[in-house]
Structure 1
Amino acid sequence: MANEERSVGIVMNGVTGRMGYRQHLVRSILAIREQGGVRLPDGTILRPEPILVGRNENKLAAIAKEHGLDRWTTDLGEALSTAGAEIYFDAQVTSHRVESISAAIEAGLHVYTEKPIAEDTEAALRLGRLARDAGVKAGVVQDKLFLPGLRKLKRLVDGGFFGRILSVRGEFGYWVFEGDWQEAQRPSWNYRAEDGGGITIDMFCHWRYVLEEIFAPVRSVQALAATHIPRRVDERGDTYDCTADDAAYGIFELDGGIVAQINSSWATRVFRDELVEFHVDGTEGSAVAGLRRCRVQHRTMTPKPVWNPDLPAGEDFRSQWQEVPDNDEFDNGFKVQWELFLRHVAAGEPFPWDFLAGARGVQLAELGLRSAEEGRRIPVSELSL
């Protein structure tokens, strides 16, 4: 007997943007459809049916035609009232998110959204309360937890490899072209604070869940935010003033005395193996984890370097580290979390990354910006809905 199938309509807002289109529509929802759907515990096959929403009619029509989709609109209200629509997904600019998510909740749809879920902590908490009171399920994208390199790092932590963890040093970023002699890789709104831009609000939301899910809760933040490139050229070729930060340098104190230092920058040229890397030191061993790779050095294999600036370095330090094996198959991280959220909605399976988790990310970003403005270390308090 064939497994029963049922469809779930997903209103996808912001699919004309880079992340909404590439990671969420193509590599997640369409990839899930191509694999035959998501199997639920009772054997039912859940098949996602996207309903595309955006502001640019021509772009929406082109995307729909390219992928054989027939449901799209520039009217969010129309999309939310579409027959069979059960889930609303938001990948818009941050400044439009709260209003759209609120409308989706009021329409009775479950909500899955990119981060940050709001521009400030109180607005994020209001969304959480709204979802709770409406009885709808809500989730926030926490994609970096599903990166192969960080999953290997989490395996090391859970296995006690590090002994007592001392510190975490993170480097993230790359050079985003100014838009004059080469086209910028990121939309111009990222560099305008009035449109919800800024690397602190973008990346500190990530660092909150990475630090807390892999290592320990964050108890304080001290940050310096900078706008290194003051003027850029937008998509129309017009020069504009950058009002948001393009680099953030943060120090985070975690439970257990762990100190985390993470640099985030859109104004740095990459001299490392991957666009993001975390170097973790512990009493028993160290690791360096990126998007895909993770390498370790145990205390029994640690060499004894001697500082001597008068001679050239005689050791190949990178060769003294060992590669952590995959020991698993790693699917696209966005797709994996989409499958978890679909099972959460359709079968009630656990999904811990709710709007409260999203609010914690916004809180850390907000406190980071406040720390930068006031030039001081700021404690991170507990949040609740």
Structure 2
Amino acid sequence: MTRRSIGIIVNGVTGRMGYWQHLVRSLLAIREAGGVPLADGTTIWPHLVLVGRSEPKLRQIAERHGLDDWTTDLTAALARDDVQVYFDAQVTQQREKAIRQAIDAGKHIYTEKPLAEDTEAALDLARAARAAGVRTGVVQDKLFLPGLRKLKRLLDGGFFGRVLSVRGEFGYWVFEGDWQPAQRPSWNYRAEDGGGIVVDMFPHWHYVLEELFGAVRSVSCVTATHVPRRVDESGRPYPATADDAAYGVFELEGGVIAQLNSSWCVRVHRDELVEFQVDGTEGSAVAGLRRCRVQHRAVTPKPVWNPDLPATEDFRAQWTDVPDNEEFDNGFKVQWEAFLRHVVAGEPFPWDFLAGARGVQLAELGLVSAREGRRVEVPELSL
């Protein structure tokens, strides 16, 4: 068996997502498994070059995991001939400049979303990458969640008949930072730093809707900053200038209507932090991060509205779990493996910079809708 080493710059590894999901649960997990196998017997072995702004943090992470290749100098890392891939998990405002550097250096690029701060910048990155002949990818992790993979299985098998609607609930209570520390970084709540739940979540909703149910043709959105004052990591109060909740209605190609609520100001009364209910003519399903439950037309009860009597039916018990039928690996790791096979072996990878630009576009138009109080059409994007 031949092992092929591929150098990967991991920029932003000191952040929460960069460290946990991409370094620990994806790239280090791939190494622990022996690499990514290819059909010809070759194994891809990720050689990791950690990049960040804090030398003490980088050193600490490297020592913790037995790594010795790290630097605070991105330009020097991109100049290396033994590096083929650049990955970006920085805050959004830093991303575009770094990705342009990587394109100029001729590196293949994989990045967290959103790809850029606005649609035109995202499209420009996609055009530049295509002109440079480099392969690109944008993280679209929710497609690889066990719950959504089961949902995709149901859709592919025709379980729903004609899909009518999708209702999604995402969110949890993020503490304000005063009497309990916040679970998310303070920049998320400052618009001037690229924060806001629309920018964070609408790119996710775009690829989930497009991949499973159809292209998004219009968006209607209401946003709110429910908690106007928060406390940062240093204990200093600051005004929250970004939206912390968004309530969206999306019209899809083919007539499906999707309603998706996103909030960092909601207390969870559901089984998982995100759930999607899909209703069709032949059946319905509720999919979360891991579980997926169904109710078919043939076994749907006939409830009768009577507010004068207490409810006696256990509605949740009337649904059936969809079995796993396979082993589900970490979604971030699965997409990393697919991207590395794309780079080395040319295997298909549809989640490129153009796909990422469509996610940015939906977030941008969602904010336009909220600001102007109207339904906004979503035009098709092309290079």
Task: Describe the superposition over 1:78-121 as per-residue Cα deviations: whole angstroms up to 9, x where unpaired.
Answer: 11123411000000000000000000110111000000000100
> Which segments of 5 or more consecutive residues in structure 2 lack a partner in the other structure?
none
Does the aligned pair in 2 maintain the 1:27–1:332 contact within 8 Å?
Answer: yes
**What SS class does the counterpart of residue 45 from structure 2 fall into?**
strand
**What SS class does the counterpart of residue 254 from structure 2 fall into?**
helix
The residue aligned with 2:41 is 43
- State the 1:255 CA deviation: 1.4
The residue aligned with 1:122 is 120
**What SS class does the counterpart of residue 84 from structure 2 fall into?**
strand
The residue aligned with 2:211 is 213
Give the whole-Å Cα distance in 2 for the aligned partners of 1:223 and 1:239. Answer: 29
RMSD of equivalent CA atoms = 0.6
Give the whole-Å Cα distance in 2 for the aligned partners of 1:359 and 1:192. Answer: 22
Does the aligned pair in 2 maintain the 1:41–1:347 contact within 8 Å?
Answer: no
1:257-296 equivalence runs, <5 A: 257-296=255-294
Q: Give the one of 233, 239, 242 matched to 2:240.
A: 242
The residue aligned with 1:72 is 70
- State the 1:56 CA deviation: 1.2
Q: Partner letter of residue 346 of structure 1?
A: V
1:50-69 equivalence runs, <5 A: 50-69=48-67
The residue aligned with 1:187 is 185
- State the 1:50 CA deviation: 0.8
Q: Give the one of 323, 333, 336 matched to 1:335.
A: 333
Structure 1 stretches of 4+ moved >4 Å: none
The residue aligned with 1:106 is 104
The residue aligned with 2:322 is 324
The residue aligned with 2:351 is 353
Give the whole-Å Cα distance in 1 for the aligned partners of 2:44 and 2:256. Answer: 42
Give the whole-Å Cα distance in 1 for the aligned partners of 2:34 and 2:254. Answer: 45
- State the 1:41 CA deviation: 2.2
- State the 1:368 CA deviation: 0.2
- State the 1:257 CA deviation: 1.3
Give the whole-Å Cα distance in 1 for the aligned partners of 2:231 and 2:80. Answer: 39
The residue aligned with 2:224 is 226
State the identity %: 76
Q: Partner letter of residue 15 of structure 2?
A: G
Give the whole-Å Cα distance in 1 for the aligned partners of 2:80 and 2:255. Answer: 51
The residue aligned with 1:384 is 382
- State the 1:39 CA deviation: 1.0
Report how many aligned residue pairs link the two structures: 383
**What SS class does the counterpart of residue 160 from structure 1 fall into?**
coil
The residue aligned with 1:301 is 299
Task: Describe the superposition over 1:186-239 as per-residue Cα deviations: whole angstroms up to 9, x where unpaired.
Answer: 111111111111000110000000001011111100001111111111111111
> Which segments of 5 or more consecutive residues in structure 1 lack a partner in the other structure?
none
Give the whole-Å Cα distance in 1 for the aligned partners of 2:255 and 2:31. Answer: 46
